[in-house]
A and B are shown apart, each in its own frame.
Chain A
């Protein structure tokens, strides 16, 4: 009886092994051909803002248009979820992996695993710090340093054009900054761009950064931190630089609660260009938004196809961006996709 059982079990195992073997081999052969549908694994950070939602939507749409099968994974703001997602992409044997890293560091091991599995990796929207840059094939995204620079340049021009005077009667405009998530490449670079442009400007002596604190890219924190800024420096603040629109929207409510007029008493500039801020600009509550273009899907899919065909691609690919002051908001809003 035992013998019979062992034979049966042995046979079963054998067939399973054969089954597995044939499966993998057929997978490989199909991946080798170019005409089969490309499978892309994409790990998104989450949906922390309207901007991110637009980003996600665009990538999903672009994948559909390009005929690429997208395996989408939402990391809900946690790096460990992203690492898990990338590992599962490797296990599933996708053709290409793309992801938007939530923080800059800690990706070496998992990207090495992807490289060992010979799966090319594209980094989307945000930046990473790696010891070995060959771990990814291309970076697609926005240039956060330029966005920061543009923000300061616009402020400088606007203050001159409007002939504004510092509210506390001094000779310097006081700036408060709402930073993004601590340690995220976007926050670091937007700060860097802004302060660099400020230092390089001939009007550098006219501006001073009074306070800078993280609002974690959310409305809630943006509002809470702005409340505190207003209590500390109420009459001195001339300019608010919010590193994303959602924080500016939260801050606008805090400024109104303090009995000041957002957009007039305090000049507000933010980055991203979501619909909500255009609405606020039309109401005269905000002054300018520097676009950070989330419509990266098309570029991502094109780059992915090029890579899989074996063509050479640039290591850094940037999307197009613009600056939208309040007076253009009304005309621009209907054409906004996000």
Chain B
């Protein structure tokens, strides 16, 4: 019993539980959900799809977790994804014969670089100029897509350069899609930073009480600046994956609504939007849960006009399952009913 309590009270339990319910549902109702086969030298199956497709969301939610831990929020990431995708595809160029106009590595660095620049912009606005995070990042959220459109001149730039597709699909010879490796690398980087430095603790303390943190000698301005810059970096990386997946820069749709998904992933992961303690593991599970939900909807063939409703209901249920407040209310209601029954009987 004690052990059970220990497991259920662990921070990872609820996010994993929610994901578990979804997976169980899939295993029961979707044919061959777990089936994985080899196709042309790479693994092929729904589980691989889910992992690969959730990669860019995982990367975004890593950055978002830190931002939210400092009690901030970054709603510009979706637009930054579009800018990064636009820059990258623009530099490689849309030549039909598949010859790149600039080396791909340069284009990739530029895509990530522009993400970092956007992050720095957000960071300066929030940390130095002290604009509220929602408002500060709203600027880029609105303007970002416009910037991406300007870069692509309103066109969808299709890249025919073959190696570009490796980022979103498989590098020849690799059995797993590249996005999974990129996401794993980013997670590793974050874990390394958290383990080797005290940044995690600083971020947490800034989120709980910035004034007290400042008195304790933490450079609050720098910490807040860094988390936004890192979030921009994550958005830049995710932009590369998103554009490579479709081998094109689609300024209107790349990363559309992804900021909301990233925030939802963080929330599902158990990090409070009011800041403070954060759970990187939870955010990752949250991101995978969201993608699993989407894949499930397609797999069981929910018709397109009912899709958003079914999705919303599932999210509500998942959130309720995880809400501590709801659990206490539910338990007290259950106890009351039970005691009512006892009273009735006597």
Q: Do A and B bind each other?
A: yes
User: Are A228 and B295 within 8 A (Cβ)?
Assistant: yes
CB contacts (< 8 Å) of B301 on chain A: these are: 211, 213, 232
A183 within 8 A of B: yes
B39 within 8 A of A: yes
Chain A contact residues (Cβ within 8 angstroms of B): what range? 35 or more
A179 within 8 A of B: yes
User: Are A228 and B96 within 8 A (Cβ)?
Assistant: no
CB contacts (< 8 Å) of B49 on chain A: these are: 227-228, 231
Q: Contacts A48-B252, A257-B169; is A213 near B46 (CB within 8 Å)?
A: no
Near B by CB (< 8 A), chain A positions 47-102 give 47-50, 53, 56, 76-77
Inter-chain CA distance A213–B303, complex, in Å, is 6
Inter-chain CA distance A253–B301, complex, in Å, is 21
B307 within 8 A of A: yes
Chain B residue with Cβ nearest A246: B156
A144 within 8 A of B: no
User: Are B246 and A219 within 8 A (Cβ)?
Assistant: yes
Inter-chain CA distance A49–B251, complex, in Å, is 10
A231 touches which of B165, B245, B299, B307 (Cβ 8 Å): B299
Q: Contacts A46-B252, A76-B145; is A253 near B246 (CB within 8 Å)?
A: yes
A258 within 8 A of B: yes
A185 within 8 A of B: no
A213 touches which of B53, B169, B304 (Cβ 8 Å): B304
Near B by CB (< 8 A), chain A positions 20-46 give 46
Chain B residue with Cβ nearest A231: B46
CB contacts (< 8 Å) of A225 on chain B: these are: 298
Min CB distance A80 to B, Å, is: 14
| Total interface residues in chain B, CB < 8 Å | 38
User: Are A259 and B39 within 8 A (Cβ)?
Assistant: yes
Inter-chain CA distance A253–B154, complex, in Å, is 23
B253 touches which of A48, A50, A259 (Cβ 8 Å): A48
B44 within 8 A of A: yes
A224 within 8 A of B: yes
Min CB distance A222 to B, Å, is: 9
Chain B residue with Cβ nearest A226: B298
Chain B residue with Cβ nearest A211: B301
- The 8 A CB mask of B25-44 against A (1 = contact, 0 = none) is 00000111000000110001
Inter-chain CA distance A19–B281, complex, in Å, is 66
Inter-chain CA distance A253–B40, complex, in Å, is 14
User: Are B245 and A223 within 8 A (Cβ)?
Assistant: yes
CB contacts (< 8 Å) of A195 on chain B: these are: none
CB contacts (< 8 Å) of A227 on chain B: these are: 49
B80 within 8 A of A: no
Inter-chain CA distance A219–B46, complex, in Å, is 19
Of B156, B242, B294, which is in contact with the most chain A CB atoms at under 10 Å from its CB? B156
Inter-chain CA distance A228–B96, complex, in Å, is 29
Q: Contacts A47-B251, A231-B32; is A258 near B246 (CB within 8 Å)?
A: no
Q: Contacts A258-B39, A259-B40, A276-B158; is A214 near B299 (CB within 8 Å)?
A: no
User: Are A220 and B246 within 8 A (Cβ)?
Assistant: yes
Q: Contacts A213-B301, A259-B44; is A224 near B156 (CB within 8 Å)?
A: no
B277 within 8 A of A: no
- The 8 A CB mask of A201-236 against B (1 = contact, 0 = none) is 000000000011110101110011101110110000
Near A by CB (< 8 A), chain B positions 291-344 give 294-295, 298-299, 301, 303-305, 307
Q: Show the binding face of B for A, using Cβ within 8 Å.
A: 30-32, 39-40, 44-46, 49, 53, 96, 145, 149, 154-156, 158, 165, 169, 242, 245-248, 250-254, 294-295, 298-299, 301, 303-305, 307
Besides A259-B44, A279-B96, 13 new A-B residue pairs in contact (Cβ under 8 A), listed by A number: A46-B252, A48-B253, A76-B145, A182-B304, A182-B305, A211-B301, A213-B303, A219-B156, A220-B242, A220-B246, A228-B295, A232-B30, A232-B301
3 shortest A-B CB distances, which residue pairs?
A: A214-B304, A228-B298, A259-B39
Q: Show the binding face of A for B, using Cβ within 8 Å.
A: 46-50, 53, 56, 76-77, 179, 182-183, 211-214, 216, 218-220, 223-225, 227-229, 231-232, 246, 249-250, 253, 257-259, 276, 279
